[in-house]
Structure 1
Amino acid sequence: MTLLVLSGADVRALFPPKEGLAPMREALMALARGEVCQPLRPVVAPEGAKGLLAMMPAHTPDAGYGVKIVCLFEGNTALGLDAHQGAMLLFSGETGEALALLNASVLTELRTPAVTAVATETLARPDAAELTVIGIGVQGAAHIRTLAAVRSWRRVRVVARDHVRAAKVCAELSSELDLPIEVASSAEEAVRGADVVVTATNAPEPVLRREWLRPGTHVNAVGSCVAHTRELDPPTMAAARVFVDSLESAVNEAGDYVFAARAGVIGPSDLTPLGEVLLGRAPGRESEGEITVFESVGLAIQDLAAARFVHTRAVETGAGSRVEY
């Protein structure tokens, strides 16, 4: 038996931004239709360890089985490494044979902003033209690339702790995308002028506050995928219509929701799965002045759908390497 091994470069080449939206949209709708078996991810987080390990298994009748095993090491950013390190495995739904091993760091890097782009296209105002991204690590840069591929922005502003590094990254992205991208002097200034905001940080405490948001803003909250960290303050969660990738995952794992729920300003009935909106079962944005939030925890079905998409294209094009297994 052989196993198809797809490197980070392979995954990047086979999952371009515009084409990545369709499998992510279908994954969210499949979840809403009840076609996905996806338990909450078990996490191994030893006390005193530098990072944690999470396992994200999923199954659908069409895609078979898949599991992403990923380590989250937040200190990696200071080393110039992605905080997410891991492997994605695909298995046949017919025989259980291992089919492919994919670089999970790049898969996560690309599928996350693809989901954000689906949410932005669904929930942001049609005339939204000012984008603010808080955080310019791997996810911040990937979000700028993906969102620039699906919508025209008048300006992009970036908020970062390291202004020197951020200026370098912004200059590179601006040249690559032919798009005005600048480092903002403060988060408040950048958010007050934004139509769409992306928070892509590993901050333990809020980096975005309700009083900064003008009417009609759409927020994509990406960084808080564990219950003990948060990027949005409770007043933001209370004031917005909140959409989620998964209701079960958001209630248990999204720190933005968990802290707001503890404050008594939001509950499960206030959350709308994005897949329900995509299927036409629930309304999306209902007014020009409404503030919307998409709470992105990251799901195993998204990884499975992205990996299947990459695997299919790899088989068609002969990409990757085959090893005896």
Structure 2
Amino acid sequence: MIVLSDADVAALLPMRDAIEVVAGAMKEVSAGNANLPLRSIVDVGRPNMMGVMPGAFMPGSEATAPCYGIKLVSLFPGNPDAGYSSHQGAIVLFESQHGSAIAMMNAGLLTAIRTAAASAVATRALAREDAGVLAIIGAGEQAEHHLEAMVAVRPVREVRIVGRRREKAERFAAHAREMHPALKIDVLDDVRAAVDGADLVCTVTSSAEPLLSGDWIAPGTHLNVVGASIPSKREIDEEMVARAALYVDYRPSTFAQAGEVIGAIESGRIGKDHVRAEIGEVLGGSKPGRAGPEEITLYRSLGIAAQDLACAMHCLTRARAEGRGVEAPL
């Protein structure tokens, strides 16, 4: 077994590579080439929890080897205040010929990268080509990776940041200015002001109550709603869900775990057919993307094990080629 550290994952999975890996994985998922049981949540003392995400990835392309595995990830919302990532855990990969465990790697950074990469895949497929004003709601680890992801796929020139705590948002903005000196980057205190006239909006919080109203969003905007991963949390209101052309990563998890979508269905604002497509269907050409420059598009991301498995296999393949990682025979 090869064990890969956080530093290994950072070196082996740059954002531009991750975007292509996730795009391929999403096409395979929508083609039916993955077995993805729903994420299980284990209460380990509120607000902390552990997510268990098993999956089998059986790509139709010979470019990626079939594999199966599991991600075990702890979500501790208070960790950033102590200098730790909010996501801690490990991914274990198994090969499909004999069922042997072949790799284990840090799940925190890989999760952060693949989540932002998935938003980039959706943005590349759905956002207007000229989208240049980006609003990021949230100032944690995902905000940093989402900025990198959005810059990779659209000509971003202006960034507006809103965080729950002003000082944390200012720290993120200062770091972002160092990494992206060509961008105009501002910190705002009001979500409505931040999204006013924005072309791209990324919500990357763990809010239990909607932070963003559909009434605030201008025609032509693309949104990536990312942060809330359990039904009790929701970052946007029902008006936003109903008003937008809605795209998802995987329908079964959307209807079971996306609180905003579940709430809008239960209230009668939308039906399940309001989901226009999985993003993999758009990438594969079987379902349409943006209908015109004035349409509002919304990608509701939950994250699925196929993304983790595909990124983990990419890391393992590169690690073997480059001699990275530690061999740990079982």
User: What TM-score does the superposition give when structure 2 sets the normalisation length?
Assistant: 0.95
> Partner letter of residue 135 of structure 2?
T
- 3-state SS, counterpart of residue 176 of structure 2: helix
Partner of 2:223: 219
Partner of 2:52: 55
**Alignment partner of 2:74 out of 63, 71, 75:** 71
Cα RMSD (Å) of the superposition? 1.2
Task: Output one character per residue of 1:62-121: Cα deviation in whole Å (capped at 9) or x when no partner.
Answer: 331111011112222332322211100011111111111110001101000000000000
Partner of 1:8: 6
Partner of 1:209: 213
- 1:245 and 2:243 aligned: no
Partner of 2:262: 258
List gaps (5 residues or longer) in structure 2. Answer: 59-64
- 1:194 and 2:198 aligned: yes
- 3-state SS, counterpart of residue 246 of structure 2: strand
> Partner letter of residue 280 of structure 2?
G
- 1:268 and 2:266 aligned: no
Matches within 5 A, 1:108-257: 108-178=111-181, 179-257=183-261
User: What TM-score does the superposition give when structure 1 sets the normalisation length?
Assistant: 0.96
User: 1:302 and 1:63 mapped to 2: Cα distance?
Assistant: 13
> Partner letter of residue 59 of structure 1?
A
**Alignment partner of 1:44 out of 32, 42, 52:** 42
Alpha-carbon shift at residue 9 of structure 1 (Å): 0.7
Contact 2:123–2:153 (CA under 8 A) maintained in structure 1: no
Task: Output one character per residue of 1:248-267: Cα deviation in whole Å (capped at 9) or x when no partner.
Answer: 00000111111222221122
> Partner letter of residue 208 of structure 2?
P
Partner of 2:61: none
> Partner letter of residue 193 of structure 2?
E
- 3-state SS, counterpart of residue 324 of structure 1: coil
Alpha-carbon shift at residue 126 of structure 1 (Å): 0.8
> How many residues are aligned here?
322
Of 217-226 and 258-267, the range deviating more from structure 2: 258-267
User: 2:83 and 2:199 mapped to 1: Cα distance?
Assistant: 30
Contact 2:131–2:154 (CA under 8 A) maintained in structure 1: no
Contact 2:94–2:103 (CA under 8 A) maintained in structure 1: yes
List gaps (5 residues or longer) in structure 1. Answer: none
Contact 1:63–1:308 (CA under 8 A) maintained in structure 2: no
Contact 1:64–1:91 (CA under 8 A) maintained in structure 2: yes
Partner of 2:298: 293
Alpha-carbon shift at residue 148 of structure 1 (Å): 1.7
- 1:282 and 2:268 aligned: no
> Partner letter of residue 225 of structure 1?
S
